[in-house]
Structure 1
C-alpha cells in the first residue's frame, strides 16, 4: 500500500478543503495518506474523518522568523510518517518541506498558486529565484492548469511539471434543486435578513487584494442599475474586510468566515470569483458541483476549469469592473440561461471535476516517479 505524506499549510480555506477531498479519494483508492499540518482550522478533523492518519507540523501560515524551526519540525514529522512519496501543498509547505528533505525522498510540490505571482514588490523575484533553486529538490510539480504550468516554465522552473486539475468531492455537496434552494434561502434569510426572492450573487473566499473583491464592489452599482432588486453576499474574512465594507452599499452583506459555504452556493443564483492573481480558488468549483454557474476572471487558468462552451458567458478579464458587471447582469436577467449553465456545470463536475479523478492522476505521477512501495523498499536496501 502506497504511503503518501501530505505536508500542508494553511489548514483553512480552499487549499485545505482540496487536500481533505484528495486524501478521502486516495483512501478509497487503496492508498495510505498521512496529513501533517498545524493544529487549528478544519483540515486535521476533515482529513481524519476521511481516513487519513494525521500528524502535527508546527508552522505559521505566513512568512515569519521561525522558518528554521518550521523546517526542523517538517523533517521530524516526515521521518515519523515514513512515506513512499511526499506531497507538499502551498508556498509554506513547499519551502519548509524541500529545505528539510533536499530531494532525499520522492517529492511532489503542488503550489495551488505560484508564490511569485501572489507576491508583490521585491518578493516576486525572490520567490522566482527560490523556485528555480528548489527545482533540484523537486521530483514533480502538480499544476492546476496548463496556464499555471506555462507560467512556471516562463519563470525558469526546470522540475518536471504535470497538470492535475483541482477536484472536489461531489458527495459532500448537495444538488441545488429548487426545493433545496428555497429551503436554504429561508434558513439564511432568517439569520441574515435577506429577501427570499431577490436575485442573489455570492462571492466566497479570503478578503485579500489578490482576490479582487474591490473590483466586484466597483462593478456592483452597474449591476444594480440593471437589476435593482439584486443582492450581493461576500462570504469570508481577511485583512481587507473593513475597507471593503466601507466601500460597499447597504445592499451588500458581509457574513465573515464560515466553515461551510455550501448553503450559500445552494441559495445563490450566481457565484462570482473576481480574482486578480493566482487562480479562481475552490469556490467556483464547489458552486458548479452544486449546480450554479460561476463567473471567473481569466487568471491562473481559471477558464480551463469551466465546462465546455461556458467561457463566453462566465469568463471575464481581471480587474475590469465593466466587463464583470456585464457578465453578472446578463446571467441575472436570463433565468433559463442560468439554469442551463448550472445543469451543465454540475454534470461537468461529476464527470471531469471529481477528487476521484484527481487522485488517479496524482497516483500516475507518483508511479512515474518510482514511488511504489516495492521499488522504494528495494532502493532502501540498495537494490534497484
Structure 2
C-alpha cells in the first residue's frame, strides 16, 4: 500500500474550515497509509491519542516551510517510506516539495481553499504561488470559480484537479430536529429564515437585516435567525435596533459545530446573500453552508460571490440572487419562498438528493484517493 506524508498547519483540534476538510479527508483513508506532520494547538496531545495513524507535531503554533520543517518532513518520509505527499494547504508549505522529492517522495499533491485566488491577484504572492505549483504534480481547487482564477496565473506549471469539501450527510440530514433550537430562541411555529456563518461583511447578514422589514410586510410573523459570531456583531445589533427589529431578528452568537444541524433544521429557508468585496480579494471560495443546509432539506438563497452559485441548482434547490447587495431583491426572493411552502419543500428535497450524489464525503473521498495515485484523471 502506498503511504502518504501529510504536511499541514491546519489540523484539529484547532478549529476552522481547512482543518475540518483535511481531517475529514484523512478519516476516509486507510490508517496505515498515513503519517502526519502538523503544528501544535491546545489539546493536541489528547486529540492525537485518539487517531489511528501517527502524527508528529512540530513545537510551534504555525508550521512554516523552514529548514527545520524540511528536515522533519524528509526524516518522516524516509522513516515511513512515503512515496506520496499531500500538503493540506499548498501555500506556503508546498515550498517543501523539492526537499521531499530528494527524500524519495515521487508524487506531490497540494490543496487550495479559496484564499489563494487573492494571492494570484497580487504580483509578489502570485510569483510565490507559481513557484509552489511548479514543485507539485497536482494542485487542487475547490470550485470552478477558484480554478478560473488560478489557471491563468499558474499556466502549465502543474495539473489542476478539483477537490471540494464534502458534507457529512449522516450529520446534516432532513431528520435533524430543530424543535429545541426553536424553543431556545422563542421562535414558536413562525416561519424562520436562518443564516449560519461568521458575521463578516462578505456573508451579507447586513443585507438580510436591511431586507427584513420588506419580508415582514408580506410575512408579519416571520423570524430571522443569524447563527454565528464575528466582528460585525455589534454593528448588526445596532442596525436591528435602529429598524425596531429586536422582536423578529435573533443573533445566537457562536454555536458549537455539533449543534449546527439542529440550527439549520430550525429554519424553513436558508439565506446567505454573499458578495465579493475589496476588488475581488474578499470572495467566497465555495460556500459549504449552502450544501449543509441543502443536506438538511432546506431551500437555499445564495449570493453571487465566487463559487457560491456552484452550490445551488437555480430554481431546483434554491435561488442565486443576482444582486446580493440589494435588500429589495433579497427580500423578494425570501418572501416568495416563504409564500410557497410546498415549492420550498420540493427544493429542499432536491437539494438533499443532489448533495448525496455530488457533495457527500463518500464521493469526495473517492476523488481524493484517485488524486493520490499518479494516474488520477483530471476533474
User: TM over 0.5: same fold?
Assistant: yes
What is the aligned partner in structure 1 of residue 20 from structure 2?
17
TM-score under structure 1 normalisation? 0.78
Measure the CA separation in 2 of the matches of 1:22 and 1:67: 20
Render the CA deviation track for 1:52-87: whole Å, top value 9, x for unaligned. Answer: 544435666xxxxx786x645643553464343333
TM-score under structure 2 normalisation? 0.79
Of residues 235, 253, 265, the one that matches 2:227 is: 235
**8 Å Cα contact 1:27/1:50 also seen in 2:** no
SS where residue 26 of structure 1 aligns?
A: coil
**8 Å Cα contact 1:118/1:210 also seen in 2:** no
Measure the CA separation in 2 of the matches of 1:164 and 1:176: 25
**8 Å Cα contact 1:26/1:356 also seen in 2:** no
**8 Å Cα contact 2:294/2:317 also seen in 1:** no
The 1:81/1:172 distance shift into structure 2, 3 A limit, reads farther
Render the CA deviation track for 1:318-339: whole Å, top value 9, x for unaligned. Answer: 4333322222122121110111
What is the aligned partner in structure 2 of residue 96 from structure 1?
92
**8 Å Cα contact 2:225/2:252 also seen in 1:** yes
What is the aligned partner in structure 1 of residue 181 from structure 2?
188
What is the aligned partner in structure 2 of residue 341 from structure 1?
347
**8 Å Cα contact 1:36/1:54 also seen in 2:** yes
Task: Please list, as runs of the form range in 1=range in 2, the aligned pairs for 1:289-308 lying within 5 A after superposition.
Answer: 289-307=295-313
How much does 1:189 deviate? 3.5
**8 Å Cα contact 2:193/2:267 also seen in 1:** yes
**8 Å Cα contact 1:26/1:33 also seen in 2:** no
Q: Which has the higher helix share?
A: 1
Of residues 253, 258, 274, the one that matches 1:256 is: 253
The 1:281/1:202 distance shift into structure 2, 3 A limit, reads same
What is the aligned partner in structure 1 of residue 109 from structure 2?
108
What is the aligned partner in structure 2 of residue 274 from structure 1?
273
1:26 aligns with 2:29: yes
What is the aligned partner in structure 1 of residue 164 from structure 2?
165
Render the CA deviation track for 1:100-123: whole Å, top value 9, x for unaligned. Answer: 34463433222211334389xxx8
Measure the CA separation in 2 of the matches of 1:320 and 1:118: 29
Measure the CA separation in 2 of the matches of 1:366 and 1:211: 34
**8 Å Cα contact 1:142/1:163 also seen in 2:** yes
Greater mean alpha carbon deviation, residues 195-204 or residues 162-171:
162-171
Unpaired segments of 5 or more residues in structure 1?
61-65, 371-384
What is the aligned partner in structure 2 of residue 379 from structure 1?
none
**8 Å Cα contact 2:39/2:63 also seen in 1:** no
What is the aligned partner in structure 2 of residue 377 from structure 1?
none
How much does 1:292 deviate? 1.4
How much does 1:343 deviate? 0.8
| Cα-Cα RMSD | 3.3
Measure the CA separation in 1 of the matches of 2:41 and 2:71: 16
Measure the CA separation in 2 of the matches of 1:155 and 1:50: 38
**8 Å Cα contact 2:7/2:93 also seen in 1:** no
Render the CA deviation track for 1:193-222: whole Å, top value 9, x for unaligned. Answer: 322211112212222333333233233332
Measure the CA separation in 2 of the matches of 1:259 and 1:223: 29
The 1:306/1:80 distance shift into structure 2, 3 A limit, reads farther
The 1:26/1:242 distance shift into structure 2, 3 A limit, reads same
Measure the CA separation in 2 of the matches of 1:324 and 1:230: 15
